[in-house]
Homo-oligomer: A and B are copies of this chain.
Amino acid sequence: MSQSHVLIAGTWRPADASGTFSAHDPRTGEALPGEYPTSRWSDCDAALDAAQAAAVELRTVEPAKIAAFLEGYAARIEARADEISELASKETALPVAPRLAAVELPRTTGQLRQAAEAARNEHWTRPIIDTAANIRTRFGPIGPVAVFGPNNFPLAFGSISGGDFAAAIAAGNPVIAKGHPLHPGTTQILAQEAQKAVEEAGLPAATVQLLYNLDFADGERLVKDPRLAAIAFTGSRRGGLALKAHADAAGKPIYLELGSVNPVVILPKALEERGAALAEEFTGSCLMGTGQFCTNPGLVIVQESPAAQAFVADVTKRFAAAQPGVLFSKSGLEGLGESVDGLKSAGAKVLAGGKPAADASGFSYENTVLEATGAQFLEAPEKLQSEAFGNATLIVRTSSTDETKSVIRSLEGNLTGCVYSATDGSDDASYDAIAPELRARVGRLINDKMPTGVAVSPAMNHGGPFPATSHPGFTAVGLPGSISRFAMLQCYDNVRPHRLPASLRDENPGGVWRNVDGNWSHGAL
């Protein structure tokens, strides 16, 4: 089997490879066909040169062409939907249906089309005009962006197809995609279609480039290279923080999305009111996708009561009864085991699971429930809020609303925080006591709903305070908001009218929403 080529400057060419790797079927642990290169620095160097040139060209490309690329790419993904879903399923053990074919792939093409619309209407540039001073400002493209995709969404967060990719492109930036080594075949098909769509749309050839894999040192060298303007990374805390240190030192924006434990607080009266339904809802959310979501509910906080005991018993029973899913990789299986052991050593007690699934041939861990008291949590908050990525959760039983509040105050930044309360308002005093504390620590505050669904909405915030992400002012999901991560503020002071970008001219030919002297409008001046 010949080694797969990398995509650099519009051409599929042999990598300058330091080694090769293959994907594995997580259901069996067996290697899948296909051999992919780990690139040496010279591949990065060539991609950076090409990206830098493409960024200059892209500055003068009509937004409509960028939109055409994104739409053409979406259509091309749909044309190979079966093939993509099947290969992605082989590489990740995620089910073809409904997850890949009916949920993640349509989400992916939907995001690309929303990004196309954003590129075309340019509302993301948020023009601000001071007519008296004749100062006009808008967001413009930042320059070449490197996207490091995660293991858990090969399509919707994929390095060459996901939300970061779509947002960076919509702003007019070239992307260097660093694929995830667990699903190289899926990434390759997507890159093939992206490259063809780039050609059809007439964009610079290096608008989209793909390297399958890099060693750590080259990844760090890539993020700090002056030819690169910004970085998006979705994945593990260790990997993300290593890249961040290098990007920070070079003074460039890096947007990390590192996951979190996503605390779910179930208030006492809600447990009394609908404990059994909540146990079912929670179990479904926590075990979905074998728990391998950034927004997986890994920490549940309940206040001690008979209803809480019944809830814990019910969840434990459900976790024990459910068939454990398959994890993405051997290292994921080992990592989950280590995380559960870490929780145990910090005092948590295993109620269900707690070890690799015995009768599984692939990468599988028993559905795991642990519990700790609020007092235990407050003694070791750092260890007990460590994320266990997969089908495991920790239930914390507190002795009072005050203790619940203290537990929340001991939390780091999280993507989400949920509160379930009684429908009759009888939990409202407790809600008012804890919600402000939770609010300050999460990007998305949710009522009466599990965190796992992340709607692609302009109002979504898939972000949050460190260490859930690297900056609490940005979202990774939701257009056009997510585009602003890959934009720079560009002010035009006294610039002659014919030299202004169209959206800053008096005429506003594209009907872009603009803030003119403090008010929003989309007409001409």
Binding site for B on A (CB under 8 A): 55-56, 59-60, 123, 128-130, 133, 135-137, 139-140, 142-143, 244-245, 248-253, 416, 431, 435-436, 439-440, 443-449, 455, 457-461, 463, 465-467, 470-475, 481, 484-485, 487-496, 499, 513, 515, 517-521
A513 interface neighbour in B129, B135, B463, B519, Cβ under 8 Å: B519
B128–A471 touching, CB < 8 Å: no
Q: Output the residue of A143, A455, A485 with the most chain B CB within 10 A.
A: A455
Instruction: Give every chain B residue within 8 A of A455 (Cβ-Cβ).
Output: 130, 133, 135
Between A and B, 26 residue pairs with Cβ closer than 8 Å are: A123-B518, A130-B459, A133-B455, A133-B459, A135-B460, A139-B473, A140-B439, A142-B473, A251-B470, A253-B473, A443-B490, A444-B492, A445-B492, A446-B493, A446-B495, A447-B494, A447-B495, A447-B496, A461-B489, A472-B488, A473-B485, A474-B489, A475-B491, A513-B519, A513-B520, A520-B520
How far, in Å, is A249 (CB) from chain B's closest CB?
7
A499–B129 touching, CB < 8 Å: no
B245–A459 touching, CB < 8 Å: no
Q: Output the residue of A444, A457, A466 with the most chain B CB within 10 A.
A: A457
The dominant DSSP class at the A interface is mixed
Q: How far is the CA of A245 from the CA of B55 in the complex (A)?
A: 29
- Given the contacts A59-B436, A518-B123, A130 and B445 also touching, CB distance less than 8 Å: no
How far, in Å, is A131 (CB) from chain B's closest CB?
9
Q: How far is the CA of A248 from the CA of B474 in the complex (A)?
A: 16
User: 17 additional contacts, CB 8 Å, given A59-B439, A130-B457, A253-B471?
Assistant: A133-B455, A135-B459, A137-B460, A137-B481, A245-B249, A251-B466, A253-B472, A443-B488, A444-B491, A445-B492, A445-B495, A447-B499, A461-B491, A472-B488, A472-B489, A473-B485, A473-B487
Of all chain B residues, the one with the shortest Cβ separation from A451 is B493
Of all chain B residues, the one with the shortest Cβ separation from A230 is B472
A459–B253 touching, CB < 8 Å: no
How many copies of this chain? 2
How far, in Å, is A256 (CB) from chain B's closest CB?
9
A461–B449 touching, CB < 8 Å: no
Q: Output the residue of A250, A471, A488 with the most chain B CB within 10 A.
A: A488
Q: How far is the CA of A128 from the CA of B475 in the complex (A)?
A: 13
Instruction: Give every chain B residue within 8 A of A494 (Cβ-Cβ).
Output: 446-449
Instruction: Give every chain B residue within 8 A of A248 (Cβ-Cβ).
Output: 244-245, 248-249
